[in-house]
Amino acid sequence: MAVIHQTTITPSKLEMLTSWLPSRPWYRAGEGEPRLTKAGGFRLDDPEGEVGIEFMVVTDAASGAAPACYLVPLTYRGAPLEGGEHALVSTAEHGVLGKRWVYDGCHDPVLVAQLLALIEGRVQAQAQSISDAVDEEVARSFTGDGPVPADLTTVVDHRDRTELSAPDGTTLLLHRILSPGSDGPADLPEGAVGHVAGAWELPDGSRARGLVAVLRG
């Protein structure tokens, strides 16, 4: 399991996202720049131990009367991702690991492969800020015939989600704007064969649950 280093990263994750989020088609613009707070998330392990994988949830107090909760999958690399210039969020200096290249994880094949492994039940979600700890709040299901094709290389951003698709028609939907509500297999849309659900903190301090990703076969 990945080791979580208790150290600094410059710029901070929230600073990076404050600059990057307004460029996204699913960003709900408010007055001025985003005012972000960390609301939750989880991690996945890279089997090779090279790439950090984090599914981060942030709340934007500047998005209007009802603060938006965004899902931001991120990968952290020690060298640039080949062909990934369009997906670069920022570079940062890690207090232990040195320079890191931070990417929108929807465009990183390592994150996509591990998310599919999570849906299929081959790996477990890890706690966001604690080493060697399973995140018990993350739920998943899979009713399809595995393994899922890993070539989900067509990535399209929509107003509330990012859609990854494979040539055989398999699609993976990541909810970029999270909504409390259904989070179990019985509540999935028609055609869904798998899902991931998680929890995050609302501005009033309460916990919410909802869908993070939906797989259609």
Strand-pair partners of 40: 57, 200
Buried b (16+ CB within 10 A) or exposed e, 14-46: eebbbebbeeeebbbebeeebebebbbbbbbbb
Is residue 100 within 8 A of residue 76, CB to CB? The reply is: yes
pLDDT (tens digit, 9 = 90+) per residue, 14-66?
999 999 999 999 999 877 889 999 999 999 999 999 999 999 999 999 987 78
Provide φ and ψ at 59, rounded to 5°.
-110, 135
Rounded average pLDDT per 10-residue block, the chain, 217 residues: 74 96 91 91 96 97 87 98 97 89 97 96 94 93 85 93 94 95 77 94 93 94
* Residue 129: other Cβ atoms inside 10 A: 13
**What residue type is 62 in one-letter code?**
A
- How many angstroms from the chain centroid is the CA of residue 110? 12
The per-residue pLDDT for 144 is 87
Tokens found for residue 60? 């934007």
Q: What stretch of H or E contains 16?
A: helix 13-20
- How many angstroms from the chain centroid is the CA of residue 78? 19
Q: What stretch of H or E contains 115?
A: helix 109-120
The per-residue pLDDT for 188 is 84
pTM value is: 0.94
The per-residue pLDDT for 148 is 85
Strand-pair partners of 76: 52, 102
The per-residue pLDDT for 7 is 75
The per-residue pLDDT for 1 is 58
